[in-house]
Amino acid sequence: MLNQKQLIDKVKNYNKFLNPKTLIKAYDFALLAHKNQKRDSGDPYLTHPVAVADILSDLKLDSATIATGLLHDTIEDTKTTYSTVEKEFGKEVADLVEGVTKISELEGKVIQNSKAENIRKLILATSKDIRVLLVKLADRLHNMRTINAIKNDDKAERIARETMEIYAPLADRMGMNRIRDELEDLSFDVLNPDARKLIKDRLDTIKENNLINFKSVSDEFNNLLSTNDINSKIYGREKT
């Protein structure tokens, strides 16, 4: 888990004009609000909002969004109110935290009896600020990364299916391909681990041969382009 200084230093790497006051305050506020709470893994609950803030800093987002990542569960899971967040951090952050809370409340009320596409539309309609969705996706990504700590198989499967049908497509719609791929892969591992292992083993088996083929084809292209005085570089990537 990142400590307060590490998180601020990370944000400063891409935002040299950062005023760290808000992030310091949000970190301390979350620490106090969640001090008696634990995750399913037994870890202090603070590890989750800090991990969400860390993911958001990987996306190089603004300090209000990262503060929201630190505070995103305070209204839902503690005695903190919207008014308290607004008083301490201003209306912008309070509205973002409330937006994330509303999406979480939607999950419990409508997901079981609704089509995934309708829920996605409802989430999009509810989120007036795109940053709300970014925080929610970061929240879901960390929850999926730690889903093995959930001992109730039915609950884990419900979360994984919800992720596959709702949040991975939302990430795709927002052009966040890396997050979409990771959400899908983590969900697949819960929903059908045998099929995933079969595919993974097959990919590992053919990987070396694919690299040889890629080098052969790219060398041929490079020679052809060089012959015609065209400077080039050819890149390849392994499909998930």
pLDDT in tens, 69-82: 999 999 999 999 99
Rounded mean pLDDT of 18-23?
Answer: 95
Q: Which pLDDT score, from 0 to 100, does residue 5 have? A: 96
Q: Which pLDDT score, from 0 to 100, does residue 39 have? A: 96
- Residue 176 to residue 134: CA distance in whole angstroms: 10
Please give the span between the terminal C-alpha atoms of the chain, in angstroms, as a whole number: 28
Q: Which pLDDT score, from 0 to 100, does residue 18 have? A: 95
Position 41 confidence tier, pLDDT thresholds 50, 70, 90: very high
CA 201 to chain centre: 26
Cα–Cα separations (whole angstroms), residue 23 to 53, 60, 66, 84, 236: 10, 14, 8, 16, 39
Listed range (105-119, 129-143, 154-168) with the worst mean pLDDT:
105-119
Rounded mean pLDDT of 2-29?
Answer: 96
Rounded mean pLDDT of 135-160?
Answer: 96
Instruction: Answer for the pair 49, 78: CB distance below 8 angstroms, yes or no.
Output: no
Position 207 confidence tier, pLDDT thresholds 50, 70, 90: confident
Cα–Cα separations (whole angstroms), residue 56 to 131, 212, 226: 10, 37, 42
Q: What is the mean pLDDT of the chain?
A: 93
Q: Which pLDDT score, from 0 to 100, does residue 112 have? A: 62
Rounded mean pLDDT of 51-72?
Answer: 98
Cα dihedral 75, 41, 10, 140 sign: negative
Query: pTM for the complete prediction?
Result: 0.87
Amino acid at 124: L
Listed range (25-39, 101-115, 123-137) with the worst mean pLDDT:
101-115
* Residues labelled catalytic: 76-77
Q: Is residue 16's pLDDT more than 90?
A: yes
Rounded mean pLDDT of 184-204?
Answer: 95
Q: Which pLDDT score, from 0 to 100, does residue 48 have? A: 98
Tokens of 57: 């800093």
Query: Three-state DSSP class for 62?
Result: coil
Rounded mean pLDDT of 19-41?
Answer: 96
